[in-house]
């Protein structure tokens, strides 16, 4: 299916000021009876896009759309985190998603955070230390979502976060 846009017919004596040569060449084609056929827009190619299935396929933060990371890949990410001076930290959650529960207390804090695994690893300089903690967390909570997050103490914000274990990965 293609869309055809026809250029308007303009009399030979008409000259519009301020219009570029592309308009004048289109005007010339219109006068000669030729029509400029425009290519189909991107909207017509939308059907080619892949559809994401939300059933048992939760997506999280960074790296969520790539295959599960290997130990080596996680170690490289940890090396990057530590090279930036960020503080690594592990969190886990059985559900793995923010949930909403009605509450009458002011502030509304439920369901926003995952449970912290021990304390953040302040002063950590070796990715092997974090990998050991990660394995201990996996062994303690085999059916939980586990994610690695990093904080920048200078900017006082979370800089990176990615899931390192999903319950569906444990069965494999």
Domains and CATH numbers, the chain: 1-49 (no CATH), 71-170 (3.30.190.10)
How many residues make up the chain in this entry? 172
- Average pLDDT of span 70-78: 94
- Between CA 95 and CA 172 the distance in angstroms is 19
pLDDT tens digits, one per residue of 97-150: 655 566 666 665 555 678 899 999 999 999 999 999 999 999 999 999 999 999
Partners of 147 in the β-ladder: 91, 163
Q: CA angle 119-150-124, nearest 5°?
A: 60
pLDDT tens digits, one per residue of 17-65: 444 555 556 566 656 666 566 666 655 565 566 676 777 677 777 777 7
Coil, strand or helix at 72:
helix
Take residue 95 and report the two structure tokens written for it: 């559900």
| Residue whose token pair is 């695994």 | 117
């Amino acid at each position: 299916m293609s869309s055809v846009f026809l250029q308007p017919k303009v009399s030979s004596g008409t000259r519009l000021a301020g219009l570029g040569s592309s308009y004048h060449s289109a005007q010339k084609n219109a006068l000669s009876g030729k029509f400029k056929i425009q290519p189909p827009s991107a909207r017509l190619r939308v059907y080619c896009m892949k559809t994401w299935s939300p059933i048992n396929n939760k997506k999280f933060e960074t790296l969520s759309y790539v295959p599960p990371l290997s130990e080596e890949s996680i170690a490289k990410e940890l090396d990057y985190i530590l090279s930036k001076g960020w503080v690594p930290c592990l969190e886990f959650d059985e559900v793995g998603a923010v949930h909403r529960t009605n509450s009458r207390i002011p502030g509304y804090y439920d369901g926003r955070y995952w449970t912290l695994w021990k304390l953040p690893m302040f002063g950590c300089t070796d990715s092997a230390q974090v990998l050991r903690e990660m394995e201990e967390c996996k062994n303690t909570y085999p059916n939980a979502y586990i994610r690695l997050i990093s904080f920048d103490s200078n900017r006082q914000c979370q800089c990176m976060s990615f899931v390192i274990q999903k319950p569906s990965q444990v069965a494999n």
